[in-house]
Amino acid sequence: MERLNVLVCDDDTAIVDALEIYLKHENYGVIKAYTGAQALQALAEHEIHLIVLDVMMPEMDGLSATIRIREERNIPIIIISAKSEDTDKIAGLNFGADDYVTKPFNPLELMARVKSQMRRYTTLGSIAHKSGILKTGGLELGREGKEVRVDGEVIRLTPTEYGIVVFLMENMGRVFSIAQIYEQVWNEPSYAAENTVAVHIRRIREKIEINPREPKYLKVVWGIGYKIEKY
């Protein structure tokens, strides 16, 4: 099996070295960087499957790097930062991060999140008995190629966004609460999941809806949750 590589980027060398030990123990390859600019350079030079990225760094901060990465790549990004306020977390998710961990963090918790994101990135949608196409109106999901199209145009989704769309399209017409969506896609209990799911839902709508304020496909059922409409 191909070895999966994690890019760890933080201007604190002690954190980078510590995470390298934990990641290598889980048999991941590790590429190290210490600024946002170095992270972009590492992406150009190595095959990277997931990024752990600090927010506050010299040269280029983690949020700016996330924006640049998302222009071309959909690999999972886990943001780490000393900032714990919801506004900072939401900013990271809005810029394209898949998950967010605040310092100080338990390395074992971070490893669990890395495994969860890797699992989604490498296997979601490719299970043999789930081959085929799901379709509602002009929204189409090809599970073999992990591809989403709207009116024939390919839509670029992050692994987490794709996971939400797969879950809701496999259950078209059914309404799921925020907690149910989080537990299904993130594979962990839904503690404080509301903002995280809401941000990802908004990003999906911006990509698949003609008018995100009046969505055709991804709809909210007020007080209950979300569904993908079946046409």
CATH number at residue 32: 3.40.50.2300
Cis previous bond, 104, omega within 30: yes
Burial 15-50 (b: 16+ CB within 10 A, else e): bbeebbebbeeeebbbbbbbbbbbbbebbeeeebbb
**Does position 130 have pLDDT exceeding 50, yes or no?**
no
At residue 62, the 3 state secondary structure works out as: helix
pLDDT digits (tens, 9 = 90+) for 161-217: 999 999 999 999 999 999 999 988 887 777 767 788 889 999 999 999 999 889 999
Residues 113 and 173 in one domain: no
Write out pLDDT tens, residues 54-68: 988 888 888 899 999
Instruction: Clarify whether residues 69 and 136 are in a common domain.
Output: no
Residues 217 and 162 both lie in one domain = yes
136 and 108 within one domain: no
Is 137 or 90 the better-scoring residue by pLDDT? 137
| In a shared domain, residues 197 and 218 | yes
Q: From 123, 147, 181, give the residue that closes a domain.
A: 123
What mean pLDDT comes out for the span 69-97? Answer: 83
Residue 129 confidence class, pLDDT cut points 50, 70, 90: very low
* Count of domains observed in the chain: 2
Last residue of a domain, which of 79, 94, 123? 123
95, 123, 151: which is the final residue of a domain?
A: 123
Which has more confidence, 48 or 1?
A: 48
Output the CA–CA distances (angstroms, integers) from residue 80 to 61, 68, 89, 92, 165, in the order listed: 12, 17, 9, 9, 25
Q: Do 39 and 140 fall within a single domain?
A: no
| Domain of residue 176, CATH code | 1.10.10.10
Confidence grade of residue 104 (pLDDT, cut at 50, 70, 90): confident
Domain boundaries, position 132: 128-228
Say if residue 154 is in the same domain as residue 80.
no
The alpha carbon torsion through 175, 225, 183, 147 (nearest 10 deg) reads: 70
Distance CA 109, CA 189 (A): 13
